[in-house]
């Protein structure tokens, strides 16, 4: 129970919810609950983005266990290498920080110009 409470508290504090989709995850009642809460938070504006990543070789985008709303509203990516997943997640975090603090994007533009 403590772990469940910690996870929900973490979700309350998050702007990005990353869901790693696998056969085991899609069968887990707990994962289904987390995804349901994340969707509700997204709809309420408490969460900025849900980023699903398929990490199972045998799982496809068309799997009926993946909720339709997730298929329709997100870009589900099939990523099997942890380093690639980490880079993609970092890119989503950067995008969110730019949405929240647009001046950061402007500063990045100037830094790139100065480095060339």
> What is the dihedral angle through the alpha carbons of 62, 68, 69, 70, rounded to the nearest 10 degrees?
-30
pLDDT greater than 50 at residue 113: no
The whole-number pLDDT of residue 102 equals 64
pLDDT tens digit sequence for 80-109: 999 999 999 999 988 888 766 666 556 555
In contact, 47 and 10? CB cutoff 8 Å: no
Alpha helix (H) ranges present in the chain?
A: 2-12, 23-27, 29-44, 68-73, 82-100, 102-115
Question: What is the pLDDT at residue 67?
Answer: 95
Evaluate the CA torsion angle 68, 70, 74, 75 in order and state its sign.
negative
C-alpha separations of 83 from 52, 63, 67, 79, 86 in Å: 16, 25, 26, 9, 5
Q: How many CB atoms within 10 Å of residue 108?
A: 12
Which sequence spans correspond to the domains of the chain?
2-115
What does the pLDDT look like over 41-75, one tens digit per residue?
A: 999 999 999 999 999 999 998 999 999 999 999 88
Q: What pLDDT score was predicted for residue 7? A: 76
Q: Kindly report, residue by residue over 4-33, the tens digit of the pLDDT.
A: 777 778 877 888 999 999 999 999 998 998
């Amino acid at each position: 129970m403590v772990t469940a409470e910690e996870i929900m508290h973490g979700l309350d504090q998050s702007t990005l919810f990353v869901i790693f989709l696998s056969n085991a995850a899609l069968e887990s009642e707990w994962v289904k609950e987390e995804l349901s809460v994340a969707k509700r938070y997204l709809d309420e504006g408490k969460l900025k983005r849900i980023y699903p990543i398929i990490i199972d070789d045998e799982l496809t985008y068309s799997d009926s266990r993946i909720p339709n709303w997730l298929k329709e509203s997100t870009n589900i990516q099939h990523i099997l290498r942890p380093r690639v997943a980490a880079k993609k997640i970092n890119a989503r975090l950067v995008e969110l920080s730019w949405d929240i603090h647009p001046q950061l994007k402007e500063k990045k533009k100037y830094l790139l110009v100065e480095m060339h």
